[in-house]
Amino acid sequence: MWGRSRWAETRGSCCLCRVDQFLMLKHSRVGIGLLGASKMSVGKSHTDRQWWKEAVVYQIYPASFNDTNNDGRGDVNGVTEKLDYLKDLGVDVVWLSPIYDSPQVDNGYDIADYKKIYPPYGTLEDVDRLIQELGRRGMKLVMDLVVNHTSDQHPWFLESRSSKSNPKRDWYIWRKPKYDVEGKPRPPNNWNQILGEAHSAWIFDETTQEYYFAAFTPQQSDLNWENPDVRAAVYDILRFWLDRGVAGFRMDVINLISKDQSFPDAEVVIPGQPYQPATQHFANGPRLHEFLGEMRREVLDKYDQMTVGEMPFIYDDKEFLKIVHQKDGFLNMVFHFELVDIDSERGDVPGDARMSVGNWDVSDLRRIISRWQRIMIDGGGWNSLYCENHDQPRSVSHYCDDSDEYREYGSKLLAMMETTLSGTLFVYQGEELGMRNVPLAWGPEEYKDIEVNEMYPNDQEKLQKARRALRAKARDNGRTPMQWDSSPNGGFCPEEVTPWMRVNDDYPVVNAAAQTKPEATSSVYHFWQRLVTLRKENAGALVHGGFELIDETNPDVFSYVRVADSGEKWVVVLNFTGHSATWESPKWGLQWVAGNYADGLDKVQSGGTDLVHLRPWEGLIARQPCN
């Protein structure tokens, strides 16, 4: 809860910090003595304050956002209809997951036409109107660019598979079979599929008696980026959308576009299984930089736009920095997976490592987050900040406690963390309401994702285990329809319409209408809204500033300080456990300005000692005004 009156007071008392932070650049080291100037690194020069750094990006999963044509799936006009809701939250940029024409095998990440909209979502004219309406509100649109692969229904692939001599044959990755002792065709190597670990990533084509490569599912055939015509066709798509007024791209698995062209067998790490994980061979290949550099030169540099590359299967900091280095990198930022994989370990559910649920604690969270803050701040790159997206469970269920007792506290705790770290902030639809994972009681039929459908076991014991894992990790958790109000189907679609995916049963309580009411001052939505404002008003520290851990060995509390070039400090204290914890405050004359418990600020202010007692999932934010 925010102490409303104190909030106003403290904002007033420090308005100079915000207004004058540019003027104070030349004194940038002033005020950092308390931490020890050698240890504290302040933020990089603020000369590089591009719009996308301070922007709040809101990701929309179109199928589940807002249905205005009553077919049980969201649509483009449904996004346009909700722009005032997003503007009020403080959103600057809308990122739309794919809306292009698609057979929807992987919910639009299998594109059949990059220049046409999937008819149930609307038309190009609807998108033009969306861009216009966003513009009227000072907002921008970012599209999802999925060009590692197309749908197997894309005309390019239909041509490619039609004959070995077709001019588009080489637009995809075709290889001759190996043959077993009986003379039957076998895949060219042992690589498995990402969304179906038990299957080969090579799909046999009867017509031409060769295999094509498909890293995700058989219906998502990988493009052959070695072919310059493919790259030219991709750049043409980029231009098509940029010329329409789009302000950038989230690039799907963009580090998979260059692959080891010798296609060697992968090391066997799942004994007894014919197909093995091989991402070390088909991610981050030898020509990745060359391809991204070309894309930048040919297209991106010619527009004022932003890029964020989704980059799984990469574990080398230096490699990340090369990609996003602000001077000579290729993309503005990347999505890494270290935080969302905090609890991933192999072997919980047969058939899929991604569904594992391992243990983690605050020291893991602290290690991962501070590592990434350091890599980018010290190395001249830029972070993306996200806890949720359409491939991840809901963050309050993942990192906190989504029980009725603690859901709101946990959601607000995460909001405090995300809005006070260095980087560009990405909020996923429903995160601002504290939406949670699907109920454990839901049966397998409620899960719609192809990944789950590939793996559901028949045997009862495995099924129970799988059910727990799915409830924790399945992508479906983040894909349930938005909960707009307490009417049937949560206001996502009319009562008489069956939504493409069941609405989470908690919609009568967890919904936007209840949380945006002016009197719902303590709702998760309003908390996010205030934090977003705080972040924007104090971007010098909270977006661009330095980052340093405090109390690095505390077993329960993740705490850190953000420092503006002006010397102004912001301290963030987050109890990432379901029990009480203590934290010793540095003697910095802190003014406490935000907390997720109604009486949190009063308690900490009247505590009279430097020892702060925190309740389960309690978080606090304080400021030390500049001297």
The question of whether 319 is a catalytic residue gets the answer: no
Closest CA to 419 of 621, 156, 214, 131: 621
Nearer to ligand NOJ, 10 or 437 (CB): 437
Using an 8 Å Cβ cutoff, are 273 and 352 in contact? no
253 binds ligand NOJ (CB under 6 A): yes
Q: Which residue is nearest to ligand NOJ (CB)?
A: 109
- Alpha helices in 178-327, H assignment, sequence order: 228-243, 279-282, 288-298, 317-324
Q: Tell me if 252 contacts ligand NOJ by CB under 6 A.
A: yes
CB of residue 355 vs ligand NOJ: minimum separation in angstroms?
15
Is residue 126 at the binding interface for ligand NOJ, with CB under 6 A as the rule? no
One-letter identity of residue 363 = S
Q: In the set 58, 61, 95, 109, which binds ligand NOJ (CB under 6 A)?
A: 109
Which residue of 114, 216, 507, 547 would you call a contact of ligand NOJ, by CB under 6 A? 216
Is residue 449 involved in binding ligand NOJ (CB under 6 A)? no
CB-nearer residue toward ligand NOJ: 285 or 567:
285
Query: Strand 140-145 relative to strand 93-96: parallel, antiparallel, unpaired?
Result: parallel
Decide if residue 568 touches ligand NOJ (CB under 6 A).
Answer: no
Is the CB of 150 or the CB of 566 nearer to ligand NOJ?
150
Distance CA 347, CA 358 (A): 10
Taking the alpha carbons at both ends of the chain, their separation in whole angstroms is 28
CA atoms within 13 A on the CB side of 51: 13
Question: Of the listed 67, 252, 348, 449, which one is catalytic?
Answer: 252
Please choose, from the candidates 613, 370, 24, 519, the residue with its C-alpha nearest in 3D space to the C-alpha of residue 605. Answer: 613
Q: How far is the CB of 310 from ligand NOJ (least distance, A)?
A: 6
Binding residue (CB under 6 A) for ligand NOJ from 67, 92, 101, 106:
106
Question: Does residue 197 interact with ligand NOJ by CB under 6 A?
Answer: no
Give alpha helix (H) positions in 327-457. Answer: 362-379, 395-399, 407-418, 450-455
For residues 24 and 194, which CB has a smaller minimum distance to ligand NOJ in the complex? 194
CB of 273 to ligand NOJ, least distance (A): 22
DSSP label at 225? T
**Which residue lies nearer to ligand NOJ by CB, 105 or 141?**
105
Helix (H) or strand (E) holding 603: helix 600-606
Could you say which of 75, 92, 310, 402 is catalytic? 310
Asked if 249 interacts with ligand NOJ (CB under 6 A), we say: no
63 touches 107 (CB < 8 A): yes
**Closer residue to ligand NOJ, CB minimum distance, 152 or 391:** 391
For ligand NOJ, the closer CB: 212 or 216: 216
Q: Are 77 and 126 in contact (CB under 8 A)?
A: yes
Q: Which of residues 290-329 bind ligand NOJ (CB under 6 A)?
A: 310
Q: Which amino acid is at 566?
A: S
Site track for ligand NOJ across 5-44, x = CB under 6 A? ----------------------------------------
Tell which residue, 462, 93, 423, has the closest CA to residue 245.
93
Please state, in angstroms and rounded to a whole number, the distance separating the CA atoms of residues 16 and 393: 41
- Tell me how far, at minimum, the Cβ of 441 lies from ligand NOJ, in Å: 26
- Binding pattern for the stretch 76-105 against ligand NOJ, x by CB under 6 A and - elsewhere: ------------------------------
The partner residues of 203 in beta bridges, in order of sequence, read 212
Alpha helices in 403-523 (DSSP H): 407-418, 450-455, 460-473, 512-516
Distance CA 518, CA 511 (A): 14
CB of 250 to ligand NOJ, least distance (A): 9
Distance of closest approach, residue 449 Cβ to ligand NOJ, in angstroms: 9
Report residue 536 as tokens: 């924007």
Residue from 92, 126, 152, 391 in contact with ligand NOJ (CB under 6 A)? 391
Residues contacting residue 203 through CB under 8 Å, at least 6 positions apart: 211, 212, 213, 214, 218, 221
Residue 157 interacts with ligand NOJ (CB under 6 A): yes or no: no
> Which residues, at least 6 apart from 575, have a Cβ–Cβ distance to it below 8 Å?
413, 556, 557, 581, 583, 614, 615, 616, 617, 618, 619
DSSP helix/strand/coil, 187: coil
84 is catalytic: no
Is 388 a binding residue for ligand NOJ by CB under 6 A? The answer is no
Which of 1, 134, 142, 146 touches ligand NOJ by CB under 6 A? Answer: 146
Considering the complex, state which of residue 146 and residue 417 has its C-beta at the smaller distance from ligand NOJ. 146
Instruction: List residues with catalytic annotation.
Output: 252, 310
Site for ligand NOJ, rule CB under 6 A: 106, 109, 146, 216, 252-253, 310, 390-391
